[in-house]
Chain A
Amino acid sequence: MSEALLRLDEATIQFGGLIAVNKVSFELQKGELFGLIGPNGAGKTTCFNLVTGVYKPTSGSITFKGKAISGQPPFKVARMGIARTFQNIRLFGALSVLENVVIGGFLRQRASLVSSLLYMPGAIKETARLKREAMELLEIMDLADSANSRSCDLPYGKQRRLEIARAMATQPDLLLLDEPAAGMNPQESEDLMMTVRRLRDDFGKTVLLIEHDMKFVMNLCERIVVLDHGEEIARGIPSEIRSHPEVIKAYLGVEE
Chain B
Amino acid sequence: MRFWAVRLGSIGLAVAGAFAIGMLAQNSGNTVSRLIALAGLYVTLAVSLNLINGITGQFSIGHAAFYQVGSYTAAFLASQLVARGIITTTGMPISWVLVAVIAAAVSAGLAGLFIGLPSLRLRGDYLAIVTLGFGEILRIIIQNTNELGGSYGINSPKAFVVPYVWLLAFLCIAVCRNLLQTAHGLTFLSVREDEVASGAMGVNVTRIKVAAFVIGSAFAGAAGALLTHNEGFINVNSFTMDVSFIILTMVVLGGTGSITGSVVAALALFILPEILRDAPAMPLNAILGSLVGIALLVGVIRLAMDNKGLGREVMGARLWLGLGVAVGGAIVVSIGTNFVPALANRTIPSAELRMVIFSAVLVIMMLLRPQGIFGHREFGLGKLFPKEVKA
Instruction: Check B60 for interface membership: any CB of A closer than 8 A.
Output: no
Could you say which residues of chain A place their CB within 8 Å of the CB of B184?
106, 109, 111, 113, 116-117, 123
On whether A95 and B189 interact (CB within 8 A), knowing A74-B199, A74-B200, A75-B202, the answer reads yes
Query: In the complex the two chains form, is A119's CB within 8 Å of B181's CB?
Result: yes
Instruction: Check B197 for interface membership: any CB of A closer than 8 A.
Output: yes
Residue in B3, B198, B200, B211 whose beta carbon sits within 8 Å of that of A84 in the complex? B200
On whether A117 and B175 interact (CB within 8 A), knowing A92-B190, A106-B183, the answer reads yes
Question: What is the bound-complex CA distance between A73 and B201, given in angstroms?
Answer: 12
Task: Encode A71-82 as 1/0 by CB contact (under 8 A) with B.
Answer: 001110011000
Could you say which residues of chain B place their CB within 8 Å of the CB of A121?
3
Question: What is the bound-complex CA distance between A93 and B197, given in angstroms?
Answer: 11
Task: Encode A222-237 as 1/0 by CB contact (under 8 A) with B.
Answer: 0000000000000000
Please give me the residue from chain B that is nearest to A104 by CB atom: B201
- B3, B178, B182, B204 interface centre (most CB from chain A within 10 Å): B182
Count how many chain A residues have C-beta atoms less than 8 Å from C-beta atoms of the other chain: 40
Chain B at the A interface: SS class: helix
Please give me the residue from chain B that is nearest to A118 by CB atom: B178
Could you say which residues of chain A place their CB within 8 Å of the CB of B264?
none
- B184, B189, B199, B376 interface centre (most CB from chain A within 10 Å): B184
Could you say which residues of chain B place their CB within 8 Å of the CB of A52?
200
Query: In the complex the two chains form, is B202's CB within 8 Å of A95's CB?
Result: no
Instruction: Check A102 for interface membership: any CB of B closer than 8 A.
Output: yes
Instruction: Check B141 for interface membership: any CB of A closer than 8 A.
Output: no
Please give me the residue from chain A that is nearest to B7 by CB atom: A119
On whether A90 and B186 interact (CB within 8 A), knowing A117-B215, A118-B178, the answer reads no
Instruction: Check A94 for interface membership: any CB of B closer than 8 A.
Output: yes
Instruction: Check A26 for interface membership: any CB of B closer than 8 A.
Output: no
Within the complex, the shortest CB–CB distance from B180 to chain A, in Å, comes to 10
Query: In the complex the two chains form, is A117's CB within 8 Å of B183's CB?
Result: no
Question: What is the bound-complex CA distance between A102 and B202, given in angstroms?
Answer: 12
Question: What is the bound-complex CA distance between A123 and B182, given in angstroms?
Answer: 7
What bracket does the count of chain B residues touching chain A fall in?
Answer: 20 to 34
Query: In the complex the two chains form, is A95's CB within 8 Å of B193's CB?
Result: yes
Could you say which residues of chain B place their CB within 8 Å of the CB of A126?
182-183
Within the complex, the shortest CB–CB distance from B192 to chain A, in Å, comes to 8
Query: In the complex the two chains form, is B183's CB within 8 Å of A107's CB?
Result: no
Q: Which residues of B134-161 have CB atoms within 8 Å of chain A's CB atoms?
A: none
Question: What is the bound-complex CA distance between A125 and B187, given in angstroms?
Answer: 17
Question: What is the bound-complex CA distance between A167 and B202, given in angstroms?
Answer: 10
On whether A103 and B182 interact (CB within 8 A), knowing A75-B204, A94-B193, A113-B211, the answer reads no
Residue in B3, B175, B198 whose beta carbon sits within 8 Å of that of A103 in the complex? B198
Could you say which residues of chain A place their CB within 8 Å of the CB of B199?
73-75, 78
Query: In the complex the two chains form, is A106's CB within 8 Å of B187's CB?
Result: yes
Could you say which residues of chain A place their CB within 8 Å of the CB of B194?
90-93
Q: Which residues of B91-142 have CB atoms within 8 Å of chain A's CB atoms?
A: none
On whether A91 and B197 interact (CB within 8 A), knowing A106-B202, A117-B179, the answer reads yes
Query: In the complex the two chains form, is A124's CB within 8 Å of B182's CB?
Result: yes
Could you say which residues of chain A place their CB within 8 Å of the CB of B189?
92, 94-95, 99
Within the complex, the shortest CB–CB distance from B280 to chain A, in Å, comes to 45
Query: In the complex the two chains form, is A111's CB within 8 Å of B182's CB?
Result: yes
Query: In the complex the two chains form, is A107's CB within 8 Å of B203's CB?
Result: yes
What 10 new A-B contacts, CB under 8 Å, besides A116-B184, A126-B183?
A73-B199, A74-B199, A86-B196, A102-B186, A103-B186, A106-B186, A107-B202, A123-B183, A166-B201, A167-B201
A residues at B contact (CB < 8 Å): 52, 54, 73-75, 78-79, 83-84, 86, 90-95, 99, 102-107, 109, 111, 113, 116-119, 121, 123-124, 126-127, 130, 166-167, 169-170
